Every structure is written in C-alpha cells, then in structure tokens.
Chains A and B, each alone.
Chain A
Amino acid sequence: MQRIIQINIAGRMLPIEEDAYQQLKDYISALERHFTGEDGKEIVEDIENRISELFTIRLQSGSPAIDRSDVQKVIDTLGTASDLNEGAAAAAYSSSGTSYGRSDKYSSYRQRSYGSRRNRLLRDPFNKVVAGVCSGVAHYFDIDPVIIRLIVVAISLGTFGTGLLAYLIAWAVIPQARSRAELYNEYPMTFHDISRSMADELQDLKIRGEQMSRDLRDFFSKKR
C-alpha cells in the first residue's frame, strides 16, 4: 500500500507515490548539488520541466500515480548526475579544437568548470562508507580502499580518537569528485592546465562546506 502525494513540478500538479517521491527527491537533490550557480538553477529547472513532461505522458496513459518504476525510467532516460557531468565534459572535449569569434570566452568558460588534468586527491562519493575519504585516498595511491580504511581505523584507535579529527579535516578539505572520470583521471588530452583564481578556490570551499553538512545530515538520517 502506498500513500499518494501531490507535487508541483515545473508548474504542473502531479500525483506520485510516497516511495517514488523520495526517489525523485534524491535524484533532483543530486542534480542540484551537481549543477551549481545561476546556470545550474536554470539547468535543473529545464530538467524538472522535462521530468514533468514525461510524467504527464505517463499519467495520460491511464496510470493513477507515478510509481518507483516510472521514476527509475525517467532517471534512466535523463541520466544520473554523474553521467551528465561526463557527458558535458566529453562534449567540451570534442569541440575544444574549434576556433571561432569568441572561442576564448567559450573554451575558458568550459575549462574553468572542468579543472586540470593532474592526478588530484578527491573524495569518492560513489564508493563511500562515511564520506569517501578513504576511497579517495585509495584512488590517489591506487590501493584497495579496504586497506586504507583499516589503516585509518587502526590510527584512530591507536591515538584515542585524534585520528578521527584528522579524518574530519580531510573530509572538509578534500573536494568531492564530481564524476567517475575525475576519479580515474580520464580527462581528455586536449584540456590545458589552468590555475584557478582565488575566487574559484573560495567558492569551492564554500560549496564543500555546504556539501559536508548535507553529507552529515544524510549520514545521521540513514541511521534512523
């Protein structure tokens, strides 16, 4: 048995099962985390509009409410947040060789968004137990994450919890990988190394702070 909830998505009122609503909410939150800034807002609005359209079509075929399988189908059709980043990066790669009028503005806009090529220490949100710190470190050194986790636990126990403090600092400081490509260092060869400006770094730190408090909330709500 499912409770039905009414949602307002892109200006349409649609009935959706409670489970499916949760799934949809998680998906949209992932998109919002992924697409930031003014542009990000616009992109997520466009995507919500498309979701709303797809749901309307589904409902018109006689279904009384959107269920989990409908939401899953929509996610499969649109792509997950990480899929979409790879897509955007790859599309950028293909046209980076083009030159035309405002190519500087165009390509630097892309390059600023997608960073440099060197092997970076990032947190891995796809293989995380708590925050992806151990997974991220494991990727950087190319070791099994289990070994890193054992080391971290051993250090934490050995230092009576001070090691945990180091873990929390690492959580705050190490940025989260935005796509699988970043983790495996699969950036296309034609990107140039661009040093980010101070403002970018500060903005990134702010976003990570927000991300971290969200992760904390998720972690504790899962325990319930």
Chain B
Amino acid sequence: MAIENTESQMRKGLLELCILGIIKKQKEAYPSDILEQLKEARLVVLEGTLYPLLTRLKNAGVLTYRWEESTSGPPRKYYALTGEGQQLYGQLRTTWDELSKAVNNLTESI
C-alpha cells in the first residue's frame, strides 16, 4: 500500500509539468488528446485527475481555452498556455531537470 502511494505521488507531482509540456509542444490541445499523449509516453494516471487540474490551471491564469465545434460530436475545449503558463513551464522544467540530475547522481553509484 505504501509504495503505490509514493509512486502515485511521484506521478501526480509531475503531472502539471507534463500537461504544460504537451500543450506547449502542440500550441493547443484538448483533454482527450492530452490523455492520449500521456498514455503514449506511458505516464500512468487516472484520467479523472486531468479535469480538475486543467480547470485549476485555467483559474490561476496559467491556461486559456477556446471552444471548437466538431462535426463528429460535441464541441471541444482547446487549451493553450498563457504567458504565465510559459513561465511556469520554464520553472517546473528547470526544477525537474535539477531534481532528476540530483537523484540520478545519488542512485547511479548504488
């Protein structure tokens, strides 16, 4: 029980960075698309955690979205990074780079 908890905490902690990264790479992305990319990259998360996270990021001014009508179903929300979003991504990315380097250094020699 404890290890799944730690592992899931690790994944959830990085989720924001990954989501921002996906949106940044594609300029715009809708939720199912983001989930697809996460799956392809083998980042395992409960899909449901995405939606409150996206809404929270939008409320904090990190993301914006626009609706796009689709012929093959209901309209879709396309999310994009704001200026703050770009900044946040940069900071998270730096933190991750530093952190992963540190952890790799520590665990390499074990």
Contact = CB atoms under 8 A, between A and B. Distances in A.
Interface of A: 10-12, 35, 39, 42-43, 46-47, 49-50, 52-53, 56, 77-79, 83-84, 87-88, 90-91, 93-95, 98, 100-102, 105-106, 109-110
A78 B9 CA distance: 17
B8 to A, nearest CB: 7
Contacts of A105: 60-61
A211 B16 CA distance: 32
A46 B54 contact: yes
Given A98-B88, A98-B92, A101-B84, 16 more contacts: A39-B52, A50-B35, A50-B51, A52-B74, A53-B73, A56-B73, A78-B46, A78-B47, A79-B48, A83-B49, A84-B46, A87-B45, A90-B8, A91-B13, A100-B91, A110-B56
Contact of A90 (B12, B61, B87): B12
Given A49-B74, A95-B92, A100-B87, A87 B46 contact: yes
Interface string B21-54: 0000000000110010000000001111101111
**In which size bucket is the chain B interface?**
20 to 34
B53 A91 contact: yes
B46 A88 contact: no
Contacts of B12: 87, 90-91, 94
B100 interface: no
14 contacts: A11-B73, A12-B74, A39-B56, A43-B55, A46-B54, A56-B73, A77-B47, A78-B47, A79-B47, A83-B48, A91-B13, A95-B13, A98-B95, A101-B84
A94 B14 contact: yes
Contacts of B52: 35, 39, 43, 84, 87-88
A90 B73 contact: no
Given A91-B13, A94-B13, A100 B88 contact: yes
